[in-house]
Every structure is written in C-alpha cells, then in structure tokens.
C-alpha cells in the first residue's frame, strides 16, 4: 500500500486512484449502477464536483474539486465505499 499523503487543502482539486483488493475482479463495471448511485447519494449529502472519472474493471480514477472551506475527502470516500459494498 502506498504511503502517499494527500494534502488537505480546503476547496482543492484532487486526483484519486482506488483499486479493488482482487485486482482481477470486474466488480466496478459489473456493478457500475450501484457505484454511480453510491457516488450520487454521497454528493447530495456532502457536495463535491467530479471533474473527470474513469471506471475500469478493477480500479477507478477520479478527479474531484471540493467546496471552498472543505477538505474532507476521506469521509466522502468512506461513505461511498460503505454504500457500494
């Protein structure tokens, strides 16, 4: 696992890569509708803007811009992951 630390700058634009534990799985594309719903519900509760998104079978890339004064991307991802399971 990477030891990379993202800066927590309010209103920042951040690049993310998330990977499934099983790198040979295809759950992200097979369950794309559930992933989309988890992201939409989280965005409705904790706003952020998706600048770009690439969903591959076993990992995804996203670029988010957080609202001014907000740097809490970890909890947004926590909620998305919990909803997607």
pLDDT tens-digit map of 50-80: 999 999 999 999 999 999 999 999 999 999 9
Give the total number of structural domains in the chain: 1
User: Does residue 4 surpass a pLDDT of 80?
Assistant: no
* CATH number of the CATH domain containing 26: 3.30.70.1290
Using an 8 Å Cβ cutoff, are 48 and 64 in contact?
A: yes
Q: How far apart are CA 6 and CA 31, in angstroms?
A: 28
Print burial letters for 52-71: b (CB count within 10 Å at least 16), e (below 16): eeeeeeeebebebebeeeee
5 inside domain: no
Residue 1 lies in a domain: no
Let me know if residue 45 belongs to a domain. Answer: yes
> pTM for the complete prediction?
0.88
């Amino acid at each position: 696992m990477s030891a990379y630390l993202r800066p927590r700058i309010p209103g920042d634009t951040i690049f993310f890569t998330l990977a499934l534990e099983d790198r040979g799985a295809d759950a992200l594309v097979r369950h794309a509708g559930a992933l989309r719903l988890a992201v939409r519900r989280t965005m409705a509760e904790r706003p952020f803007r998706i600048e770009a998104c690439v969903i591959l079978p076993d990992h995804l890339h996203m670029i988010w811009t957080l609202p001014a004064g907000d740097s809490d991307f970890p909890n947004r991802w926590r909620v998305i992951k919990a909803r997607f399971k």
